[in-house]
Homo-oligomer: A and B are copies of this chain.
Amino acid sequence: MISANYTADLCVRDATSRIVLLVVDGLGGLPHPDTGRSELETASLPNLDALAARSSCGVLSPLGPGFTPGSGPAHLALFGYDPWTSHIGRGALSALGLGLDFAPADVAARLNFCTIDDAGLVTDRRAGRIPTQECERLCAILGQVDIDGVQIRVAPEMEYRAAVVFRGAGLAAGVTDSDPQVTGHATRPLCASAVADERMVEVAEEFLRQAGDLLANESPANMVLIRGFGAYPSLATMQQAYGLNPVGIAGYPMYRGVARAVGMETPETAYDLASETQLLARRWKETPADFYYVHVKKTDSAGEDGDFDLKVKLLEEADSYLPAITDLEPDVLIVTGDHSTPSIMGSHSWHPVPVAIASRNALPMGSATFDERCCAAGSLGHIPSSSLMALALAHAGRLSKFGA
């Protein structure tokens, strides 16, 4: 938890201050070669710039210089957990996010519906990105898989993505993926990391064999790839660690999953900011909590698709929803991202992510804009993402002094 072992001891549990953490997924970017300006520097962001001008600004590094995180570790770091040692298998995040019946000793995995040819080679790892409805129908078919001594639950996620939970004696999560990651190759054999994981390999192989039979006459999704085996997470909750009563407002299942893994309540919502900010405003009044995590998904997708202009547009859209949050007058409002997703790279990256912490104890640097280069010169400096929660608690008056 954070860097010190003392955090929980220092947390003020009877505080009444309230924190909002707005995570704009894949926030950070890089300059467009034609203009020399990043997505944030190109976008018109009047509300975020005004926020930055009254905030302590800085940049957050999810894993340290050079290391690119997935969404799971990047979020765990933002929530104050060591992203290297608190790893949760992607399958476990999906199972949690989808609200599957998933408990300690179960193992979850991600399923991607795919297309294989007669020779058994993978020709499309996403089965033409089948619609979510088709995914739902195929998941129901996979519900017929029957393995002695093992309970299996399969649930659709988005498009070609689904999750599976295995429950039975002797299951463990140390199993490699069947996804070959490239087309034109056969699926990869599952391998156990240790003797204790061998039963899981047997079960998953039998699952894949029966799935292949059940899907044989479907098109284009005639097979599944299995990946991201994960055990039920055993992290301290944010209540235990910080004495917070946290709510996660995230439409996209995986982010609800990571929020649940740290003990957040995660009410249902669509994953557009209109729905999410409406839910935030309602929950803010009806059932006050201490900590609200709000997640913006689409910016990351635009960056991953290499669509610089769309990412600019989505950042401007996010900016337009900021007043819906500032109007609630949280004691502390933090805007940042889980990681950078520069459009010119078309992928997650290691670049530090801008952060602004608005509170009455902030140290602004004067005129500021909310972007990579301005925030890098801010009063917070360059810090690990996993330090953010201590700063959030400190600005909220929720951390007491260490030592006399």
Contacts and interface: CB of A to CB of B under 8 A. Distances in A.
Contact of A365 (B64, B364, B373): B373
Contacts of A345: 361
A391 B36 CA distance: 21
Contacts of A214: none
A402 B30 contact: no
B67 A390 contact: yes
Contacts of A64: 3-4, 387, 390
A169 B223 CA distance: 63
B65 A380 contact: yes
A31 B391 CA distance: 18
A145 interface: no
A351 B363 contact: yes
B10 A67 contact: yes
Nearest to A89: B404
A178 interface: no
Contact of A379 (B228, B372, B387): B372
Contacts of A84: 4-6, 402
Contacts of A3: 64
A204 interface: no
Interface stretch (A70-78, A97-105, A134-142, A183-191): A70-78
Contacts of A298: none
Q: How large is the interface on A (under 10, 10 to 19, 20 to 34, 35 or more residues)?
A: 35 or more
A123 to B, nearest CB: 23
Given A382-B382, A394-B350, A403-B72, A4 B67 contact: yes
A63 B3 CA distance: 10
B93 A404 contact: yes
Nearest to A87: B403
A156 interface: no
Contacts of A110: 404
A72 B402 CA distance: 9
A28 to B, nearest CB: 9
Interface in A370-404: 372-373, 376-383, 387-394, 399-404
Interface string A33-74: 000101000000000000000000001000111111111111
A369 to B, nearest CB: 14
A365 B37 CA distance: 11
A253 interface: no
A168 B255 CA distance: 58
A212 to B, nearest CB: 24
A376 B379 contact: yes
Nearest to A28: B363
A279 to B, nearest CB: 26
Nearest to A350: B394
27 contacts: A3-B64, A4-B64, A30-B361, A31-B364, A38-B363, A63-B402, A66-B389, A66-B390, A66-B392, A66-B399, A67-B390, A67-B402, A68-B402, A70-B402, A83-B402, A84-B402, A342-B361, A347-B401, A350-B391, A350-B399, A351-B363, A352-B379, A363-B372, A363-B373, A365-B373, A365-B376, A377-B377
Interface of A: 2-6, 10, 30-31, 36, 38, 59, 63-74, 83-84, 87, 89-90, 93, 110, 228, 342, 344-345, 347-352, 360-366, 372-373, 376-383, 387-394, 399-404
Given A66-B399, A350-B399, 4 more contacts: A67-B399, A351-B379, A365-B376, A382-B383
